[in-house]
Structure 1
Amino acid sequence: MALLVQKFGGTSVGSIERIEAVAERVIKARQQGHQVVVVVSAMAGETNRLLGLARQVDEVPTPRELDMLLSTGEQVTIALLAMALNKRGYPAVSLTGDQVAIRTDDAFNNASILQVETETLEKWLGQDHIVVVAGFQGRDSGNNITTLGRGGSDTTAVAIASALDADECQIFTDVDGVYTTDPRWVDDAQRLSEIHFDDMAAMARHGAKVLQLQSVEYARQHKVPLRVLSSFDDGEGSLVCFQPMSPQQGAVGLAMKSQHCLVVVSEPIGQIEPRLQLLGLDAWCYAEQAHSTGIIIASDELARLRLVLASDIANHLPDVAVMTLVGEGVAQIRDQLETAMAEAEVMVYHSKSTSRCMSLLINGQDQQLAAKIIHKKFVVEPESLDNRLLLAVS
């Protein structure tokens, strides 16, 4: 018998019918003899609805009260799922993050988990209950309800799995596992049976959305095995683990960031980066000249960027994409990559590399063409792979 922590996101619990389907899936694990803790998000669209209500009252709500409001979304879902399980004859109990005793810091709207107390969870598991926990929330040292920010339910599940020393943390999504790149952009993207945490973290950092970066890094730090599964179809999914990586070097996957823009500001990079980090803006900066800096940022963050930069924006490209190859030693294939883009007449505005990531900045309208070329030539062709195990993520 294994102890499993299963997490279902907003799409998976987006209606009563889907909540009923989640109950059936949880029961399958229970029938196999496993103990199960289920972590759920708010129903799809509910968090945005609550945000809309808040902004009708106050355009800039008090962070504490906003957390109090947003945390109610998950409370609805846990109660409904526990009802569905109990109706089917499988004892279940719903718990908020506060009732579990998920301790966080006091950073409202973007708190970090400090500790998960296990006494309440273990009590209900010991009584043969399925425990249904609200994701995305906890409580700080002042007894205030806090929320964990984007991807918070994934992090809740990983933190509970770590605290309980669970055999596996299973993240159920609307895809059936982890792919070599985003299958919405590339038809021949391949689902992977296993991926390494190092590659998963790198891909998540550079735009892959199947798992949130915070949850991947937490799982890696606490050595929690992760499995990505489909909420709608049966299958083995993809296991994120610490299996030894292949000694072969080369690209192992392609991550992408869409709907970004490039701005150039008349300040040196050293003055800009600390301000962006302080405000939590996720941007890629590079020095264009001695006294100007290029900034690549999500388009929906542009207005916020204008507020925090005192200098004028000297230039602005409204639609760019960032393509990132991930793998040990990918910086060594920079020339081949740029040659492939030139042959396809894809303009590369800038490139940036680390020991295991190679990023290109291109026009957004060229993203699909570039993705297909890069994925085929550097990720899946046999002569590029040398029959290595693919370790990547969509």
Structure 2
Amino acid sequence: MGLVVQKYGGTSVGSIDRIKAVADRVVRARDGGNRIVVVVSAMAGETNRLFKLASELSQSPNARETDVLVATGEQVSAALLAIRLQSMGHPTVSFLAFQMNLTTDSNHGRARIKSVQCDRVMRSLDDGKIVVVAGYQGVNPDGDITTLGRGASDLTAVALAAALKADACEIYTDVDGVYTADPNVCPKAKKLGRISYDEMLEMAGLGAKVLQTRSVELARRYNVPLVVRSSFSEVEGTWVGQEDQSMEDVLVSGVTLDQNQSKITVAGVEDRPGLAAKIFSPIADAGIVVDMIIQNASADGRTDMTFTIGREDL
């Protein structure tokens, strides 16, 4: 009997009918002889709706309270899926982050996972239950709710798969795999049957939205087998794993585009050693990822420094 972690994104659980379809797929996997842990995102559009509510009350909503608010989206999805599975005659239990001790740091809005305690999950699996977990959320050492960053239900799934030593982590989304380019932009893009962690990490970091960058990093670190599949079809997806000999024959795996970048220029700064560290260290401490950095040639002892970050971090 294998242990499989399945993750379903917002579009996959975006309506009652789609939640029913997810439940059917989970049951088929269970009937195939597997122990199943399911990680769910909030229903499509729900997280944006919750952020909008907060912004209507404050121009700068408190980060702690915002996490308390937006984490409810995944709680709703987890409970609804568990209710559906129970109604189909399958023992099921749902867990939130604090119930599994999925511990993070205190960086609200983009917290990093410190540890996952899977004792309750394993006991439930040993009792023959399907386990449904709310993705995206954690709890800090003070017991406060945190969130892991947009799209981070993937990260929850990979962290659970690593902690449980799962046989596979299946990421279900609205596309049926990883393509050589965005098929919405390039109709002739081809689906890849297999891609290495490093290649997927490059593509995710450069704009491919199929997998979240941090989830790929974690999968590579703990050698978690990943497969990206569509929740709307039975088509075989794309496996993400260690590089093999056949992969070395491919010079270019894919082309990506990221339209969600903001450019910042710090003008007229002193051109002296240590200045870059003074600029970028606080940004790093805030958990913001800087992509490209350009420093112009110095003129009269001063220079311009330009860098890019994700638009949501602007």
Q: Same fold (TM over 0.5)?
A: yes
Tell whether 2:6 aligns with 1:12.
no
Residue in 2 aligned with 1:113? 113
Residue in 2 aligned with 1:94? 94
Residue in 1 aligned with 2:227? 227
Relative to structure 1, the CA distance from residue 142 to residue 57 in structure 2 (aligned partners, 3 Å threshold; closer, same or farther) is same
How far off is 1:249 after superposition? 6.7
How far off is 1:278 after superposition? 4.2
Report the aligned-residue RMSD.
2.0
Residue in 2 aligned with 1:284? 292
C-alpha separation between the residues in 2 aligned to 1:59 and 1:81?
34
Aligned residues: 302
| TM-score, length basis structure 1 | 0.72
Kindly provide the CA deviation profile for residues 232-266 of structure 1, in whole angstroms up to 9, marking residues without a partner as x. 01122011011424444732221222254656542
Tell whether 2:280 aligns with 1:256.
no
User: Whose strand proportion is higher, 1 or 2?
Assistant: 1
C-alpha separation between the residues in 2 aligned to 1:260 and 1:66?
23
Check conservation: 1:151, 1:214, Cα contact below 8 A: no
Relative to structure 1, the CA distance from residue 66 to residue 300 in structure 2 (aligned partners, 3 Å threshold; closer, same or farther) is closer
How far off is 1:298 after superposition? 5.0
Unaligned runs of 5+ in 2: none
How far off is 1:62 after superposition? 2.0
Letter of the aligned partner of 1:33 in structure 2? G
C-alpha separation between the residues in 1 aligned to 2:250 and 2:197?
17
Check conservation: 1:151, 1:212, Cα contact below 8 A: yes
Check conservation: 2:290, 2:307, Cα contact below 8 A: no
Check conservation: 2:264, 2:306, Cα contact below 8 A: yes
How far off is 1:289 after superposition? 2.3
SS at match of 1:42: coil
Relative to structure 1, the CA distance from residue 234 to residue 160 in structure 2 (aligned partners, 3 Å threshold; closer, same or farther) is same
How far off is 1:115 after superposition? 1.1
Check conservation: 2:137, 2:146, Cα contact below 8 A: yes
Check conservation: 1:273, 1:285, Cα contact below 8 A: no
C-alpha separation between the residues in 2 aligned to 1:75 and 1:265?
41
Kindly provide the CA deviation profile for residues 371-391 of structure 1, in whole angstroms up to 9, marking residues without a partner as x. xxxxxxxxxxxxxxxxxxxxx
Kindly provide the CA deviation profile for residues 22-55 of structure 1, in whole angstroms up to 9, marking residues without a partner as x. 1011111011111100000111111122112222
Letter of the aligned partner of 1:282 in structure 2? V
C-alpha separation between the residues in 2 aligned to 1:201 and 1:140?
27
Relative to structure 1, the CA distance from residue 86 to residue 261 in structure 2 (aligned partners, 3 Å threshold; closer, same or farther) is closer
Kindly provide the CA deviation profile for residues 326-355 of structure 1, in whole angstroms up to 9, marking residues without a partner as x. xxxxxxxxxxxxxxxxxxxxxxxxxxxxxx
Letter of the aligned partner of 2:129 in structure 1? H
How far off is 1:146 after superposition? 1.3
How far off is 1:293 after superposition? 3.1
